[in-house]
Amino acid sequence: MQWDPRFEEKIDRWIEDHREQFLEDLSALVAIPSISQAQDGPHPFGQACADVLDHALKLAEGYGFVPSNYDYYCGACRMQGQGEHRKEIGLFSHLDVVPVGEESAWTYGPWNCTRHQGEYLVGRGVDDDKGPALIALYAMRFFREQGLPLQNDVMLYFGCSEETGMADIRYFCDHVKAPDFSLVPDSSFPVCFGQKGIFRSAASAPAQGNLVSFTAGQVINIVPDLAQAVVSGVTSAQMQPFCGEQIQLEETGEGLKLTAHGLSRHAAFPEGSCNAVHLLASALAASGLLTGSCKAAVEALARFTSNYYGESTGVPFQDEPSGRLTCVGSVVRLEEGRLRVKFDIRYPVTCQGAQVESGLRACLEANGYQLEEFGDDPPAYVPKDHPAIPVLCQISDHVLGQHLEPFTSGGGTYARHLPNAVDFGPGDNSITRPFPDGKGGAHQTDECASIPALLRGLKAYILALDALDKTL
């Protein structure tokens, strides 16, 4: 596929001219701590998500697009095409972000969008997904400001609950006809054409005895890097032999407090992480110092979290297109005498949710736990031979200067709720983050984005809108 060099020069020049404004707009979005928190009232995901949606829609309107607010579940802006038989291209981004964890662990304030080493931005949402949302908006802005009308309509969606169950996209699809073909800027280049099923569940077991508390995790789709427990009737000297360097001990009025420090990752890609739940549960189980039913509950929890591939939870499934199932015990609480754990499971595209439910339930019950609730998002596929996929792959190869193969993923994006939708970047996996392992990624402390990579992503989206407009 060839592009007119004059068109590319125009794109490159426009991007450079708008570089600083792009970064200023992104900084303003990052400054709003839009952690989605479901609640009653006019703002279903909280005031901060309402504020960030208002800001994004005002920004879009200022750049000449028609905004729509869908009851603060989500919003959109539109650019009308000039063709006689118009179709609609969708761009689906989200403005909500995951919690920041311990702010003291960040090199810079998580809501400041700080420039680091001249070519990186650090702040919650720069990579996932406020930076990509702004890329999509600026791609539309390019065509409008350059006087280059498209034949088809373009709609940019701003979601407010992508990180907490995607009630926003379900609300949208219940009220608005989905576009004919959609891109989701919430992945890595080139194209993700299939997503594993997502099975999320909660289970509990009796946990009476000397375990006073057990707390880990904030949201289900993050491998927790912090877990804490308090045990009564136990001293530091008794527990210390079973705790490595990653577990700190402190004697308090309630009992001995244990704090485990792991390494966080997105639950869809847990490789390389260290689940703090497993560190803590394993130490407690190995000590033999727990009493009553909490002893068996913690021992089972240690087994459940001993690997990430379902082997210890009764669901060791895998297939050729999408690889191994992943299973993360991510949120744990001791409540009302029961130890409760939430699991985030990503299962292969050829597997069924009923298989996961059956295997997990049997394993839990064999270990004294009850499956209390679960939800299943089935796998999503767009055939690899869809005509848009090779075009998008060529654009990615051209902009990044390297050949990449389309792929399937364990991640869950809006694409799974839309017909004819694929993830198209703008992440670049060849970028080296300027932080130690465990920092700098989406959902991690010091979340960062490369400024040159963001601008390459913008160019790719401009070329993609141009190409899709000609092929739909």
In the chain, % of residues over pLDDT 70: 100
How far apart CA 469 and CA 472 sit, in angstroms, is 6
Over residues 355-366, the pLDDT tens digits come to: 999 999 999 999
- pLDDT interval class at 460 (50, 70, 90): very high
In this prediction, residues 100-128 reach a mean pLDDT of 96
- Provide the pLDDT for residue 165: 87
Q: What is the mean pLDDT of the chain?
A: 96
Between these two residues, 2 and 169, which has the higher pLDDT value? 169
pLDDT class of 437 with cuts at 50, 70, 90: confident
From CA 323, how far away is CA 317, in angstroms rounded?
A: 9
Q: Read off φ and ψ for residue 272, nearest 5 degrees.
A: 90, -10
Q: What is the pLDDT of residue 2?
A: 76
Q: pLDDT tens across 101-112, in order? A: 999 999 999 999
Mean pLDDT computed over 191-197:
93
What's phi and psi for 277, nearest 5 deg?
-60, -45
- pLDDT of 15-53, one tens digit each? 999 999 999 999 999 999 999 999 999 999 999 999 999
Residue 390's pLDDT is 95
User: What pLDDT does 246 receive?
Assistant: 96
CA distances from 15 to 9, 24, 143 (A): 10, 14, 12
Over 90: is that where the pLDDT of 8 sits? Answer: yes
Q: Give 380's pLDDT tier (boundaries 50, 70, 90).
A: confident
Categorize the per-residue pLDDT at 206 as very low, low, confident or very high, splitting at 50, 70 and 90. Answer: very high
Q: What is the pTM of this model?
A: 0.77
pLDDT digits (tens, 9 = 90+) for 304-328: 999 999 999 999 999 888 899 999 9
Q: What is the mean pLDDT of residues 413-418?
A: 93
Q: What is the pLDDT of residue 381?
A: 84
